């Protein structure tokens, strides 16, 4: 198989929730081409799903070495830092993502989650509103059960946004 095939297979395995197998495929791709940006980014994603955040950050940093303005890599960096409770670093990564791509729904949504956890209610509601404007259907699927939004869930504006 070529590196493209290994990366594509890894992406499919992520969608199936087979994260360890996905990582193996990304590693095969990276053995052939250590500069495979997509493989670095998606390997990091699989590692985040496995709660291996430090390893994910190392992959993200490799991806950012090749493309320092990659919005997806930066958003993934924010996700890993958020899970490591580095809230300042996560916010910085989300802000940079949104500078590069103001329509990055996941960055807006995760920024809302981060702000909610920090009890920054207005920031959380504003970020959630932006996420909902971009992809209401996907965000509404997440909002109902996401514990990160518990600090804003009873706010009248939250109810107005998701109602």
| DSSP state for residue 149 in the 8-state scheme | G
Helix (H) or strand (E) holding 64, with range, is helix 53-66
Contact assessment for residue 39 and residue 68, using Cβ atoms and an 8 Å cutoff: no
The pTM of the full predicted model, rounded to 2 decimals, is 0.91
What confidence tier does 5 reach under pLDDT thresholds 50, 70, 90?
A: confident
Q: Which domains does the chain have, with CATH numbers?
A: 1-85 (1.25.40.10), 102-163 (no CATH)
Q: Return d(Cα 158, Cα 151) in angstroms, integer.
A: 10
Calculate the average pLDDT of the chain: 95
pLDDT, tens digit, for every residue of 124-156? 999 999 999 999 999 999 998 999 999 999 999
Sign of CA dihedral 85, 86, 92, 96: negative
**Per-residue pLDDT, 3:** 53
Residue 32 confidence (pLDDT) above 70 = yes
Contact assessment for residue 20 and residue 2, using Cβ atoms and an 8 Å cutoff: no
Residues shown for the chain: 163
Residue 10 confidence (pLDDT) above 70 = yes
What confidence tier does 1 reach under pLDDT thresholds 50, 70, 90?
A: low
Residue 38 confidence (pLDDT) above 80 = yes
Tokens of residue 51, six digits: 């709660």
pLDDT, tens digit, for every residue of 56-87? 999 999 999 999 999 999 999 999 999 999 99
Ordered DSSP codes for 67-97 = -TT-HHHHHHHHHHHHHTT-HHHHHHHHHHH
Contact assessment for residue 6 and residue 39, using Cβ atoms and an 8 Å cutoff: yes
Three-class SS of residue 156?
Answer: helix
CA angle 121, 109, 12 (to 5 degrees): 155
């Amino acid at each position: 198989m070529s590196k493209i095939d290994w990366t594509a297979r890894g992406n499919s395995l992520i969608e199936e929730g087979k994260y360890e197998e996905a990582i193996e495929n990304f590693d095969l791709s990276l053995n052939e081409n250590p500069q495979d940006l997509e493989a670095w980014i998606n390997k990091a994603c699989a590692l985040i799903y496995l709660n291996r955040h430090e390893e994910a950050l190392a992959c993200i940093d490799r991806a950012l070495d090749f493309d320092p303005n990659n919005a997806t890599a930066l958003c993934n960096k924010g996700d890993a830092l958020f899970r490591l409770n580095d809230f300042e670093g996560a916010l910085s990564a989300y802000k940079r993502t949104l500078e590069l791509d103001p329509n990055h729904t996941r960055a807006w949504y995760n920024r809302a989650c981060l702000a909610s956890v920090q009890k920054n209610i207005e920031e959380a509601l504003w970020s959630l509103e932006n996420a909902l404007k971009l992809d209401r259907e996907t965000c509404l699927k997440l909002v109902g059960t996401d514990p990160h939004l518990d600090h804003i869930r009873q706010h009248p504006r939250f109810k107005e946004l998701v109602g």
